[in-house]
Amino acid sequence: MRLAFGQRFAFWRPRSRLPFAVLFKKFQSILDRNNHILEKMADMGDKLGGEYVFDRHYIEHSAEELSDMVFKLVSDFSLLNREKNSELFIASETVRQGIAAELSGKGLRRELGPRILPLAEIGLEHCDEVGSKLANLGEIHNRLGLNVPEGFAITTAAFADLVAPSAIAELLPQAARLWQDRDEAGLRRLAAEVHQRILVTPLPGSLASAIDSACRELTKKHGGSGVRFAVRSSATWEDGGSSFAGQHLTLLNVPPSQVAEAYRSVVASLFSFAAWRYRLERGYEEDETAMAVGCQLLVEGTASGVLHTCAPDRPSESMVIESIWGLCAPVVGGECATDAFILDRIPPYRSLATTLAAKTRQATADPRGGTCWQEVATERQHLPSLAPDQLQTLAETAMTLEGFFKRPLQIEWTFATGGDLTVLQVRPLSRWTSRLAEDGRDSAPQADATVVFADRGVIVQCGVATGRVVRVDSDRDLERFPHGGILVARHTSPRYSAVMGKVRGIITDFGSSAGHMATIAREFRVPTVVNTTIATAALHDGDRVTLDATHNVVYEGEVATVTGFIPIEEEIFEDSAEYRLLRRVLRHVTPLNLLAPQSENFLPSACRTYHDITRYIHEKAVEALIHLSDNHGASHSSAPRKLTAELPLGLLVINAGDGLDGAADDPEVSVEQVTSLPLAALLAGLSTPGMWSTMPLSVNLNSFMASFTRTFTTSLAGPKDIGRNLAVVMRNYLNINLRLGYHFTTIDAYIADNVNDNYIYFRFLGGVTELIRRSRRAICIAKVLERYDFRVETHGDIVLGRLKKQPAERMRQRMTMLGALLGFTRQLDAQMHSDSDVAHHAEVFIKAFDDHSAGDDHDHSVRQQPAPPAHSR
Amino acid sequence: MTTPSDSSRLRLLILDDEPIVCKRLKPALQKLGCTVETFTDSASALARLGESAFDLVITDLKMEGLDGMKVLTEVKSSSPATRVVVITGFATMETARESYRQGAFDFIAKPFRLGDLLDCVRRIGSELGKDLSQATAK
């Protein structure tokens, strides 16, 4: 064992010997920085929750702080492991540059990433790459299963290529100055020049051929010749924060051979005078603007039009559909008279009013390309352009979309020759949301409707939902979840994110508004009430109900006046540029790609984010410290000794001074030989047999220990994994890094007679397990720590506890408590089913530990050893 | 919900050179029942303060041009009854102390929870006898 250990580190030869104390200090500094980085990351993540008001300064400042800390972390590590660590420095520099690019706006015109993305692969998360318009379309096709014209996006990365040549790039920044000087004529000239230069700039060869092959593939799939494209703008922010309606070019009926040229024209329209002025007026920065372009098959509609889910200037209970024969373009352009259908917003979507126009002509695809007008046969001119069943289909689709986007929408649509409804574009209508939201708030709850229950539980997301109750008890229920159902379940679960796009509302018996599911429900703006305690008893599968999550009432059936409420919040926080910027910056920071230290890609070169780098360094720093003391041998400290205990902790202990008894070169050390006061206390807590038996859970010591063993036998199986659990001890000092499964606990403690020197620092960090249980346990731990006088901070699944300046005996008891708590929570992981369990389990622990301590002799010495476990293995 | 007449509303001016702060605060404060005007440059804000009386000014500290501390002192000297709440991303003990010395009602470090600022405005509302909605912003 010892030989293998030495061999493993044989490659390592110290170049110069630094005293162990110095290196250990570095190690502590690494841990310290590691903590600060994790805390900062969690702090930034918190800001995405919508609760905080933050500005650009915050993002810049935080990013700079993080970069600085990570750089110093790598530097410290280099001193500890005596290597250059070039790959780590490169990784951190790459991340830093990525963040800098985001902050400078160049992240949007990312040089990386695909130039072409098929619509089938696009979702809302791609809005930076493909613009909001195409991201919306991709989302409703791929998530809601609605028909949209097949096609692909030419991304903002391609745009970055196109405007990169200096002849264009150097002109762009002039716009802001001209605008500031109110020099409209100058801006007009600039716009004309940029526009022209883009039109004459050749596409990069690779882009031209990529567009060509994407077109050819679609052409082949759809029967060869005759396929035509609609080439549409999808600028960043278009149909997102601002509509940019009609500002950019759309070209219809483009033959495949001309798509590349059409692409260039659409991009150029970003720099038309009107469009440029529009975004300068609205405060868009030049470098946060980029144009993605959608190339979709042209759908030759028999009837097309625009639907507003909330009829402008009408009561909020109605939607309006304007429609004509033929292609949709004339409706949007306001070029001809349209039929108007006003419908109820609730099923069965009764017709409230119909106005038919004389539709003398229709737009149609010109065989020569583009569109042309065509006379409408006299007998059809006065016929309604939509049949009742088409109106129904449209209304249903519109309400599905509104339910999904949670705000009134303007929807462009067409009925294709085959009769299928195709959605061409979905645009949020922010202008009306405010008024309608007021209406909603002002309406009194319904007196005549039958209330199933009211004022039970906690509102997570306001809004109103109508639909059938769908009881979810298992993953299979989720797989079968129908579109538009109201999810009713015992507990909240982040697994429901799988159906969030289909769910109209959520009601649970238990759960908290701070849970992960709650966060997701808010993200999807699904009206949600949790912790009602009676939802599953009162609501049955298939019941039709109306959930008014704004007033916290569940009604039987569909309550028409209630559903008049618009299920939206008027300020959509995610629309702010700062929110998006922070989210983009965090993409370089928080994702964790290095999961298992055993895996092959646990390498510095595989680090993609700051999280990866800190994770890697933490793991390797512990390893480095072990082999460092191993190599230095007894001259500076003891070699690591393996703790032999009933507790299979897999713990290696380095004695940095009076922390262990017995021969320094003994490869093992027993619990009895631990003279370090803090470690002895911690071990006593970990193995306290008395309290476990009082647990109401099905916990016995055997299974408790088994849960420890499972982790460590597997990790000990491979030599690479040894030493993940490491303690450095002195008589009054302990630094311990415990990895239990994927959870990390760090304790740094000093306990001696001088009260002022005493401290315990405790950090618990969840790993890659199921989010919700992880954070529940974090809350449970936090509650317990607070009960025992710790100053506690929690950030997501990180718990930090600090205790200072208490007398030695009390500090010792607290260490024992921490030991017991570690064991307790380890076992508890599988037991925490709902948020309500958290408080319960915390209380159970506190009571058990206090009972145990009460029977304890307060005068026992540090060296007093715990009794052997009741059920030893 | 009845619409309060204008005189019963809390009149509020927000000055922050980062538009996002105005954009987020304005609707939330309107929801509370305040009348809200927002400015991103201190010159226009001061001009407006010269024209009209406000119950409360919420100002950033560090801005281009005239900084928030000057806005604070000018407001307090020309209209001592106006409450001023300072919000800043550069919070130090020094600036906090100075703000209070100049008569700030409260000093809030950015980023802050929207709810905390609303609580502060409610406090001011109740001191001034203005009825603010208890609705909490999301």
Task: Identify the residue among A55, A439, A528, A582 best suited for mutation to test binding to B, counting B beta carbons within 10 A and taking the highest.
Answer: A55
Residues in chain B with CB shorter than 8 Å from the CB of A571 are 23-24, 27-28
What letters, b where the CB count within 10 A reaches 16 and e where it falls short, cover A253-275?
bbbbebbbbbbbbbbbbbbbeeb
Q: Return the residue of B nearest to A439 by Cα.
A: B1
Q: Is residue A511 within 8 Å of residue A491, measured between CB atoms?
A: yes
What share of chain A in percent tops pLDDT 70? 77
Which residue of A53, A57, A62 to mutate against B (max B Cβ within 10 Å)?
A53
pLDDT value at residue A237: 66
| Residue A869 pLDDT | 35
Tens of pLDDT, residues A676-735: 999 999 998 887 764 443 333 333 333 333 333 333 333 333 333 334 688 888 889 898
Indicate yes or no: CB of B110 within 8 angstroms of CB of A57.
yes
CA distance B18 to chain A (A): 7
* Nearest neighbour of B89 by CB, restricted to A47, A55, A283: A55
For residue A205 the two structure tokens come to 């060869």
Contact B110 A441 (CB under 8 A): no
Residues of chain A whose C-beta is under 8 A from some C-beta in B? 47, 50-58, 61, 283, 434, 441-442, 462, 569-571, 573, 576-578
Report yes or no: A41 and A99 within 8 Å, Cβ to Cβ.
no
Amino acid type, A140: I
* Distance from the B10 Cα atom to the nearest Cα atom in chain A, whole angstroms: 19
Q: Which helix (H) or strand (E) holds A657?
A: strand A651-657
Q: Which of residues 71-110 of B touch A (CB under 8 A)?
A: 89, 110
Domains assigned to chain B: 9-127 (3.40.50.2300)
Contact A571 B27 (CB under 8 A): yes
Average pLDDT over residues A730-741: 82
Q: Is the pLDDT of residue A654 over 80?
A: yes
- B110 to A54: CB separation less than 8 angstroms, yes or no: yes
B63 → chain A, closest CA residue: A57
Instruction: With CB atoms and an 8 Å threshold, state whether A576 touches B20.
Output: yes
Amino acid in position B108: I
Do β-strands B56-60 and B11-15 pair in parallel, antiparallel, or remain unpaired? parallel
pLDDT, position A570: 43
Q: For A349, left (φ over 0), alpha (ψ -120 to 50), or beta?
A: left
Residue A408 backbone class (left: φ over 0; alpha: ψ -120 to 50; beta: rest): beta
Distance in Å, alpha carbon of B135 to nearest chain A alpha carbon = 11
Three-state SS at A402: helix
Residues 6+ apart with CB under 8 A from B135: B31, B32
Query: Inter-chain contact A50–B115, Cβ cutoff 8 Å?
Result: no
- Where does residue B59 fall: left (phi above 0), alpha (psi -120 to 50 degrees), or beta otherwise? beta
Q: Determine the residue type at A51.
A: E
Closest listed residue to residue A41, CA positions, set A109, A99, A125 = A99
Q: What gap in Å lies between CA B94 and CA A663, rounded to an integer?
A: 56
Strand, coil or helix: A461:
strand
CB contact under 8 A, A51 and B114: yes
Tell me which of B57 and A842 has the higher pLDDT. Answer: B57
CB contact under 8 Å between B114 and A569, yes or no, is: no
Q: Using a CB-CB distance cutoff of 8 angstroms, which residues of chain B are in contact with residue A442? A: 1
Q: Which residue of B has its CA nearest to A43?
A: B111
State the best of B1, B20, B62 to mutate against chain A, taking most chain A CBs within 10 Å.
B20
B64 touches chain A (CB under 8 A): no
Interface contact B3, partner A, CB < 8 A: no
Q: In the structure encoding, which two tokens stand for residue A298, read together?
A: 């042209």
Q: Kindly report, residue by residue over B80-108, the tens digit of the pLDDT.
A: 999 999 999 888 888 899 999 999 999 99
Contact predicate A844/A827, CB 8 Å: no
* Pairing mode of beta strands A791-795, A798-804: antiparallel
- Residue A422 forms beta bridges with which residues? A414
Nearest to A576 among B1, B23, B89 (CB): B23
Residue with tokens 């405010």: A434
Give the span between the Cα atoms of A408 and A567, in whole angstroms.
9
> A588 — phi, psi (to 5°)?
-90, -5
Q: Which residue of B has its CA nearest to A61?
A: B89
Angstrom distance (rounded) from CA A578 to CA B18:
10
**Contact residues on chain B for A57, CB-CB shorter than 8 A:** 18, 89, 110
Looking at CA atoms only, how far is residue B89 from chain A in angstroms? 7
Residue A769 belongs to what H/E stretch? none
Residue A771: closest CA among A460, A515, A583, A518: A515
Q: Are A155 and A135 in contact (CB under 8 A)?
A: no
Q: Where are the alpha helices (DSSP H) in A661-789?
A: 677-686, 701-717, 771-787
Contact flag B111-A577 (C-beta cutoff 8 Å): no
Nearest beta carbon to residue B113 from set A52, A283, A576: A52
* Two tokens, residue A563: 């559903």
DSSP lists the bridge partners of residue A354 as: A341
> What local confidence, expressed as pLDDT, does residue A871 receive?
38
Residues 108-137 of B with CB under 8 A from A: 110-115, 117
State yes or no: pLDDT of A434 exceeds 50: no
Mutate to test the interface with A, among B16, B21, B30 (most CBs of A within 10 A): B21
- pLDDT at A824 (0 to 100): 77
- Are the beta carbons of A53 and B18 separated by less than 8 Å? no
Selected residue with higher pLDDT from A284 and B79: B79
Residue A25's pLDDT is: 81
Q: What is the DSSP string of A319-346?
A: EEEEEEEB-SHHHHHT-S--EEEEEESS
- The size of the A-B interface in CB pairs under 8 A is 56
* Banded model confidence at residue A513, pLDDT cuts 50, 70, 90: low
Partners of B27 on chain A (C-beta within 8 Å) are 434, 570-571
CB-CB neighbours of A490 under 10 Å? 16
More confident residue, A563 or B64: B64
Chain B residues with CB inside 8 Å of A53's CB?
20-21, 24-25, 110-114, 117
> Do A379 and A390 form a contact (C-beta atoms < 8 A)?
no
CA distance A21 to A27: 10
Q: CB–CB of A53 and B115 under 8 A?
A: no
Q: Measure in Å the smallest separation between the Cα of A475 and chain B Cα atoms.
A: 31
As to burial, measured by CB atoms within 10 angstroms (0-12 exposed, 13-18 middle, 19+ buried), residue A56 is: middle
pLDDT at residue A222, as a whole number:
86
- What tens digit of pLDDT does each residue of A655-677 get? 888 889 988 888 889 989 999 99
> A486-489 and A464-471 as β-strands: parallel, antiparallel, unpaired?
parallel
pLDDT tens sequence across A275-296: 888 777 766 777 778 899 999 9
Written as one string, the DSSP assignment of B35-97 is: EEEEESSHHHHHHHHHHS--SEEEEESS-SSS-HHHHHHHHHHH-TTSEEEEEESS--HHHHH
Whether residue A569 and residue B138 make contact (CB cut-off 8 A), yes or no, is yes
Taking the C-alpha atoms of residue A97 and residue A114, their distance in angstroms, rounded to an integer, is: 19
Among B20, B23, B89, the residue with its CB nearest the CB of A61 is B89
Answer whether B111 sits within 8 Å of A52, measured CB to CB: yes
Task: Give A861's contacts (C-beta < 8 A, 6+ positions apart).
Answer: none
pLDDT for the residue numbered A829:
57
Q: Which of A341, A366, A365 is nearest to A354 (CA)?
A: A341
- Residues A41 and A610 sit within 8 Å (Cβ to Cβ): yes
Maximal C-alpha separation, chain A:
107
| Highest mean pLDDT out of A115-119, A121-125, A222-226 | A115-119
Q: Are A780 and A797 in contact (CB under 8 A)?
A: no
A805/A532: higher pLDDT? A532
Cβ of B27 within 8 Å of Cβ of A577? The answer is no
Task: Tell me which of B3, B16, B24, B133 to substitute to probe the interface with A (most A C-beta atoms closer than 10 Å).
Answer: B24
E strands, A770-856, are 791-795, 798-804
Pairing assessment for the beta strands A668-670 and A798-804 based on DSSP bridges: unpaired
Please classify residue A116 by burial: count the beta carbons closer than 10 Å to its beta carbon, then call 0-12 exposed, 13-18 middle and 19+ buried. Answer: middle
Closest residue, chain A, to B60 (C-alpha): A55
CB contact under 8 A, B115 and A462: no
Name the least confident of A109-113, A185-189, A288-292, A717-721. Answer: A717-721
Residue A238 DSSP symbol:
B
For chain B, what percentages of helix, strand and coil (3-state, to nearest 5) are there? 45, 20, 35
Q: How large is the average pLDDT for residues A818-845?
A: 73
Q: Whole-angstrom Cα distance, residue A401 to residue A216?
A: 32
Q: What's the whole-model pTM score? A: 0.57
Provide the angle, in degrees to the nearest 10, between the axes of the packed helices A20-46 and A610-632. Answer: 160
Strand partners, A798: A765, A795
- Is B20–A577 a contact, with Cβ atoms under 8 angstroms apart? yes
Return the bridge partners of A362, or none. Answer: A374
Distance (Å, rounded) from C-alpha A199 to C-alpha A196?
5
Q: How far is A292 from chain B (nearest CA, A)?
A: 25
* Rounded CA separation A248/A570 (Å): 26
CA distance A54 to chain B (A): 4
* Interface contact flag, B138 A462, Cβ < 8 Å: yes
Q: Is B70 on the interface with A (CB under 8 A)?
A: no
Which two tokens mark A750? Answer: 């000093």
